[in-house]
Amino acid sequence: MWSPQNGTLDVLTRPLAGGARAVVILNRSGSTVSASTTATAAGFTGGAGCTYSATNLWAGTTSSTTGTITASIPAHGTAIYRVTPSAGCSGSTDLGQITGANGQCVDDSGSGTADGNPIILYGCTGNSNQQWTLPGDGTVRTLGKCLDVPAAAPRRAPTST
């Protein structure tokens, strides 16, 4: 999954074998930056006493964290980690942005949590209202709410070209 953090950083994650995840932080700026992301942003659901082993794949070093992954990344550089949860962690879920027409993202308008809040296409920001999860129960969710089509929504038959 891809999650732009701001105009400078992008974070990409991908599930790996054994419950681990690849976490890549891209620095698009012209100077060194201190960057961080969280295990939650990488798709881990955590749990009481959960810790993670974060292996820096460039340096070959491993550190332990309770959730924050931090790196100093040179200009136009990349940090790549293999993040592995400890036995006390509860699991993971797929999450990230859904990109639509013209590269815009599916957005929970105004970060609303009321039932029926509009879902729109909006410029990708990386904010939580553009982070969608697939929790494994057949739903697509953001901010704790399910993506749904109102009963009154117009129905269109598929078209062929």
Q: What is the pTM of this model?
A: 0.66
Query: Domain 94-146 falls in which CATH fold?
Result: Trefoil (Acidic Fibroblast Growth Factor, subunit A) (2.80.10)
Residues 20-50: pLDDT tens digits? 999 999 998 999 999 888 888 888 877 778 8
Residue pair 29/41 in contact by the 8 Å Cβ criterion? no
For residue 4, pLDDT over 70 is answered with: no
Residues 14, 12, 36, 107: is their CA dihedral positive or negative? negative
For the stretch 110-158, pLDDT in tens is 998 888 888 888 888 878 888 887 777 878 888 888 888 776 666 655 5
Query: Which structure tokens are listed for 98?
Result: 């859904």
Tell me which CATH code domain 2-85 carries.
2.60.40.1180
Secondary structure in 3-state letters for the chain: CEEECCCCEEEEEEECHHHCEEEEEEECCCCCEEEEEECCCCCECCCCCCCEEEEECCCCEEEEECCEEEEEECCCCEEEEEEEECCCCCCECEEECCECHHHCEEEEHHHCCCCCCCEEEECCCCCHHHCEEECCCCCCEECCEECCCCCCCCCCCCCCC
What does the domain layout of the chain look like in residue ranges?
2-85, 94-146
- The answer to whether residue 159 scores a pLDDT higher than 60 is no
